[in-house]
A and B are shown apart, each in its own frame.
Chain A
């Protein structure tokens, strides 16, 4: 999961993911869309692959990079756990405070 956070922590990588979510691309096609060198893009793609956010498919001599959204769902689920946690706690707080009102005032 840490590798997913690392993968999405960089704006260039988020842009790459946005592009690949529309269609699969070769590294050359990705590089054409950025003012960066091919090795720099390759490094970003490597980090994205480490987070399992892209998967590489060999098609003939080409290597196509596909977007894989599944790990993002895990991140969203993890955040959602805290989201519900606070919902429950704030509900408790409201209850405790407003019941307490009757006793103390």
Chain B
């Protein structure tokens, strides 16, 4: 079984612009969550939830604009356990191929799945939607 998530998406924008969306507070707000400060190499970062609390946070372990960004990633449900998020940006014709690898779930103090489905403070509206999807797929 795998404990690694791999995604890739083609984006109709230059790597420099995609980079800004991965690292700058205002752009992060448009698709993820607003960062307290720009993500910078070697620096801790935090993304704010709707209630103003930190939603997820970690430390940028490598930043090579506009090609590679690596940070540790945790949130309340991971109880401080650090997973790893690795972005790579590859320029392709008329855009960018953005790749994501999210791993490091081994040994994470993961809550039981039913706990994840319960309303225990919540992660964000997206997780709420995913909970619903997860329930549906489990019920199927």
Contacts and interface: CB of A to CB of B under 8 A. Distances in A.
Interface in A66-96: 72, 74-90, 92-96
Nearest to A1: B110
Interface in B101-139: 102, 105-113, 116, 126-127, 129-131, 133-134, 137-138
Contact of A9 (B30, B32, B106, B138): B106
A79 B3 CA distance: 7
Interface residues of B, number: 38
B138 A82 contact: no
Contacts of A74: 110, 112-113
Given A75-B3, A81-B127, A97 B106 contact: no
Interface string B82-116: 00000000000000001010100111111111001
A101 interface: yes
Is the contact region of chain B dominated by helix, strand, or loop, or is it mixed? mixed
Contact of A72 (B1, B12, B18): B1
B63 interface: no
Contacts of B131: 81
A84 B5 CA distance: 10
A54 to B, nearest CB: 16
A9 B30 CA distance: 37
A77 B117 CA distance: 11
Nearest to A76: B1
Contacts of A86: 5, 7, 100, 102
A75 B31 contact: no
A98 B13 CA distance: 7
Interface in B24-46: 27, 30-32
